[in-house]
Structure 1
């Protein structure tokens, strides 16, 4: 099955093309011949390759869900970029791979990547967790890697703090890295989709060295009518502002779960967001946040020299695959006013 865009290829909008593709997938089970035009894909830019990634023998790592430990894991001698994490068996009902993200030469975290396929896309479309809550099922997005990288380089933010990642998707990469390296009191990894929480639990089982940290996965659905009981010192989030219909729900979650600071230290409690502009969606959320009158907000465009250099290089190369509005994440910090 191939998406035909030859007749009016120059006039069709990306949104219409994606809907046409989705319609074709739902009406056909022939996924082996599926071709997606790269001009309509948001994943053409594969991130900033901030971490070395090595593909693992997934058959060995899958065993950890029986005994919760990993022994004699075999590594393929190849470092992968994000673009090389791909679908190997497009017709299987459960398709995933394991990768090790290296924090440095000696330390790594094993991440279970679930690759979307025909069955997942069809089921998610009709699921109550579809749309916004299912976007994290697809891959590790660039903003999530940038947030993880930024967190490691600013570990003091999380030391001795109770941390919560919201909208963590299938991997909650930033939260995992914080648990591994930033000496928090606790880390809670959340998403609205229960499939994501199950995958996060697989990841926790495959990383027994993280057991020394108070670390857990928990389902959290964003809803203005929901009462949230637990508060956290630091709440983090990656690329979760693109759906404007969810802005009010996201704001309610932040106001509910971000702990109020002491008067002596107004910046001890922080909401940390990493997200690209995506048109005016990020700015609209920031405006909504500021309109409440009880947050001080900082928006950082240049927050790390290495990421900034990669961003500038992508612009200089004038790559059609790199669109700063979509691909370059900004860092937003929000503190309670006291």
Structure 2
């Protein structure tokens, strides 16, 4: 990943440099005088605020102040659905080891920083559209702590759910969360997987999934080609299959990714108003709800992208 190289005082910070600023601030969160990142810019990109969209209520169960981890309980807002307990990093807590691993594997570190808003939206959408996953093989890409994949496994009667990420640290959290919630999955097979989008050899996975889901994975343009390619490789090429992505536009970032989708022979549709409840939250934030300061449609509201062979 590259940071913005234009250091002119008159230039507007790029979204990429703002995201790096968040990661830097997470690393140096105890510093009293951080360098001059734009606080407004920090708030404008799609980072989880205190509540985010708050579509799936979350309660802190336990946090040892001597640990980087906390245990949270997610209450799925559909009667009869189980509660899910996830272990996650405390917001804004990363260290140099995290960045060393990112450099080693050519991945970003955003999956460890916090639960991002688009993941909450994806999880809620999957819960509300359980029929899309029933008896299907599903994989979540770039899953972070795995909330959406775990929701699919617990509440949709999917045949199999693979929850993947390219960061081995994140995959450890995913596997821990799979183990912790195993009794909620019924007959659904649930696996964690370390999967790098640039992997050339995935013969055991090629064209095996009915549904791919992903959230907030199109931000970094340098990963677009690999993400589009692996989406094409993972989707079944016989029978109905689709990828369901949630992502804000963020300037031309989403458009550039969709160009790569077309270059891989895939088709897509974009839907802005896809759920009444999510749209209601969006409108409230647009009207100045102070639970999400600096909310900006281009950077914060996830569009629904459906990709088919």
Task: Quote the residue 1:56 is aligned against.
Answer: 61
Deviation of 1:283 after TM superposition, in Å, equals 1.0
Which consecutive residues of structure 2, in runs of 5 or more, have no partner in the other structure? 1-7
Matched, 1:148 2:123: yes
Aligned counterpart in structure 2 of residue 254 of structure 1, from 221, 228, 231 = 231
Q: Which TM-score applies when normalising by structure 2?
A: 0.82
Indicate conservation of the 8 Å contact 2:153/2:185, yes or no.
no
Structure 1 residue 142, shift from structure 2 partner? 0.5
The residue aligned with 1:223 is 198
Deviation at 1:53, TM superposition (A): 1.2
User: Which one of the candidate residues 234, 240, 243 is aligned to 1:271?
Assistant: 243
Instruction: Return closer, same or farther for 1:135/1:211 CA change in 2, 3 Å cut-off.
Output: same
Q: Is the 8 A contact 1:229 1:257 kept in 2?
A: no
Matched residue SS, 2:109: helix
Tell me if the contact between 1:298 and 1:334 (Cα under 8 Å) persists in the aligned partners: yes
Residue equivalent to 2:175 = 201
Deviations 1:169-197, CA, capped at 9 Å, x for gaps: 1x111111000111100000000011111
8 Å Cα contact 1:224-1:252 kept in structure 2: no
Q: How many residues align?
A: 286
Matched residue, 2:260: 288
- Which residue in 2 is equivalent to 1:232? 209
CA distance in 2, matches of 1:139, 1:256: 29
Alignment of 1:334 with 2:289, yes or no, is no
CA distance in 2, matches of 1:149, 1:289: 25
1:317 aligns with 2:292: no
Distance 1:321 1:130, change over 3 A: farther
Distance 2:120 2:227 in 1: 21
1:145, distance to aligned residue in structure 2 (A):
0.4
SS of the residue corresponding to residue 250 of structure 2 reads coil
Name the residue aligned to 2:5.
none
**1:165 and 1:281, CA in 2 relative to 1: closer, same or farther beyond 3 A?**
same
TM-score by length of 1: 0.75
Q: For residues 275 and 11 of structure 1, what CA distance do their matches in structure 2 show? A: 26
Structure-1 separation of matches of 2:141 and 2:21: 31
Give SS of 2:259's match: helix
| Match of residue 162 from structure 1 | 137
Q: Distance in 2 between matches of 1:25 and 1:322?
A: 20
Residue 237 of structure 2 aligns to a residue whose secondary structure is: coil
Instruction: Tell me the secondary structure at the aligned position of residue 88 of structure 2.
Output: strand
Q: CA deviation at 1:260?
A: 1.1
Deviation at 1:121, TM superposition (A): 3.2
**In the TM superposition, what is the alpha-carbon distance from 1:271 to its structure 2 partner?**
0.7
Residues 228 and 257 in structure 1, CA contact (< 8 A), matched pair in contact too: no
Structure number, greater radius of gyration: 1
Give 5+ residue unaligned stretches, structure 1.
Answer: 1-7, 60-88, 263-267
CA contact (8 A) 2:48 2:114 kept: no
For 2:3, the equivalent position in structure 1 comes to none
